[in-house]
Amino acid sequence: MLEILREYGLMLLIGEYPHGKLGGLALTLIISVASLIVTFPCAVMIALARTGQSRIFKALAGGFVHSVRAIPLLMLIFWAYFALPLVIGFPIDATYTLIIAIVIYQAAYLGEIIAAGIEGLPKGQTEAAKALGLGYVPTTFRVILPQALFNVIPGIVNQLTTIIKETSLGSIIAVSELSYVMLQVNSNEVTKPLQIFGILAATYFILCFVLSQATGWLERRIAGKRTGRVVVEAVA
Amino acid sequence: MGYQLDFGKVLQGEYLELILQGVQTTMVLFVLSWVIGLVLAIVLTVVRAIEFRPTQLLVAAFVEYHRNVPVLIQLFVWYFGFAVVLPDAVNDYLNDIGAEIGYAIVALALNKAAYMSEDFRSGMRSIHPAQMEAARSIGLTYLGAMRWVILPQAWRLALPALLGQTLILFKGTSLAAGIGVAELSYQARYVEEQSFRIFEVYGIATIIYMLISFAIMWLSSVLSNRFRLRVK
């Protein structure tokens, strides 16, 4: 196991870089964070449409969320990888197609999480803002969203864990992220698959375990803030 | 672009047969993994409920492994990793009878067992301990209290989450394509390579996935409403 780490450790971390493309764990992290960043505004829009007044937007967002939840991510990746280049007329890098597929997929899930955060706020928040004479835009962006998004921070971090796990599907369309690199290592070193995939699993485990622990910590902290316990502690 | 949609080309003869075989394999994966996963989940929940530290830790480790490692990698570990531990004779035999689908069922079932046992556990935890004490104080035995007081509420509380896991498992069967199981996604990819009818093939596969998913979602909402815990 140690020999494998010695020989391929650097490859596991950054792929072929600097002699070739950046890959491995670094690429997995970049794809994950980039996907989350692009997903976020889409998810907020979907959440606003889902919780808003307009029937049309509500139906559209609902249709989108339900449709996406009914399709496996792999199918979306196939669409983005094989069909999208034909539609737009020029080839796109597999890394981007992976990000596109994850963004579409996660927009539905993260949208639901944020929508739950908005619905979870007391109705009095919107009513008070209205009573103060605030319109829709200031009510949404200065009253509702700041609170709702703060409350769903644990959900967002948890979604990052999910995204990291989903990037492993990139290996199927030859995106040189962590799993793909280790599949290649495995085909070089045919005799040690258990160690190689053990290392691969352990790498994901450490990453996601730390993040899910962080999620738990954030959840407790934010729950405390909401009930005012943390504030009391700080005063006492 | 000059691309003419022609579903007829894909929905006939050999191609149609391959797609239908894919649907069948997907359903076999789904149903077997679900049943095995559910049974294992119940076992795990019981083991974790018994106050014995080493086994509790073991179950916790099992759950954390399956929650924090991508499903695809869990499939790789079984398919590539576990195979080398077995003697050659066993491997030859397994390959003859179709090792991929067996490993896929094992991996998916263990994964679901971990998630479902967590759902059961959180269902149990949301029932106030006083209910157990009250049940015992009116003369029920521990098992009687479980049978008549705790479990009837716990499984209803866990039901929505379990149904959610069912949908996730159904979609997760597509990952078995990653180790070469000829389920729906794999067959779609293969037929697309043969026929070059990208939009038709993926369109059909996507619609099949959606129809089955919608059926699962509909059944889930019916069951969730039917068995909703009304006193809480």
Residue B31: other Cβ atoms inside 10 A = 14
Confidence of residue B231 (pLDDT cuts 50, 70, 90): low
The pLDDT of residue A177 is: 94
- Range 147-166 of A in CB contact (< 8 A) with B: 161, 164-166
Judged by CB atoms closer than 8 Å, whether chains meet at B175 and A74 is answered as yes
The pLDDT of residue A228 is: 52
Supply the mean pLDDT for chain B: 92
In this structure, the dihedral spanned by the alpha carbons of residues A18, A19, A20 and A25, taken in order and rounded to 10 degrees, is: -40
Residues of chain B with Cβ-Cβ distance to A193 below 8 Å are 80-81, 83-84
Q: Which domain holds residue A130?
A: 2-235
Judged by CB atoms closer than 8 Å, whether chains meet at B1 and A186 is answered as no
Q: Which residues 6+ apart lie within 8 Å of A57 measured at CB?
A: A49
Judged by CB atoms closer than 8 Å, whether chains meet at B214 and A200 is answered as no
**Each residue of B125-147: pLDDT tens digit?**
999 999 999 999 999 999 999 99
Sign for the pseudo-dihedral over CA of A99, A103, A104, A105: positive
The pLDDT of residue B2 is: 60
**Each residue of A124-179: pLDDT tens digit?**
999 999 999 999 999 999 999 999 999 999 999 999 999 999 999 999 999 999 99
Residue A15, φ and ψ in degrees, nearest 5: 70, -140
CATH number for A139 = 1.10.3720.10
Question: Token match 């498992």: residue?
Answer: B169
pLDDT > 90: percent of chain B? 80
- Range 51-90 of A in CB contact (< 8 A) with B: 66-67, 69-75, 78-79, 82-83, 86, 89
Q: Which CATH architecture has domain B9-226?
A: Orthogonal Bundle (1.10)
User: Nearest residue of B to residue A81 by CA position?
Assistant: B198
Compute CA distances B214 → A58, B38, B115, B182, whole Å: 19, 21, 22, 23
Residue A233 has pLDDT above 70, yes or no: no
Residue B104 has pLDDT above 70, yes or no: yes
SS3 of chain A: CHHHHHHHHHHHHHECCCCCCECHHHHHHHHHHHHHHHHHHHHHHHHHHHHCCCHHHHHHHHHHHHHHHCCCHHHHHHHHHHHHHHHHCCCCCHHHHHHHHHHHHHHHHHHHHHHHHHHHCCHHHHHHHHHCCCCHHHHHHHHHHHHHHHHCHHHHHHHHHHHHHHHHHHHHHCCCEHHHHHHHHHHHCCCCHHHHHHHHHHHHHHHHHHHHHHHHHHHHHHHHHHHCHHHHHHHC
The total number of structural domains in chain A stands at 1
Span of A88-92, A224-228, B186-190 with lowest mean pLDDT: A224-228
User: What is the CA angle B68-B73-B76, rounded to 5?
Assistant: 150
Residues of chain A with Cβ-Cβ distance to B172 below 8 Å are 72
The pLDDT of residue B215 is: 97
pTM for this model (two decimals): 0.91
pLDDT > 70: percent of chain A? 95
The number of C-beta contacts closer than 8 angstroms across A and B is: 119
Domains of chain B, residue spans: 9-226
Residues of chain A with Cβ-Cβ distance to B175 below 8 Å are 72, 74, 169
Residue B26 has pLDDT above 80, yes or no: yes
The pLDDT of residue A227 is: 60
User: Nearest residue of B to residue A199 by CA position?
Assistant: B77
Mutate to test the interface with A, among B4, B65, B69, B213 (most CBs of A within 10 A): B69
**Each residue of A2-56: pLDDT tens digit?**
888 888 888 889 988 888 889 999 999 999 999 999 999 999 999 999 999 999 9
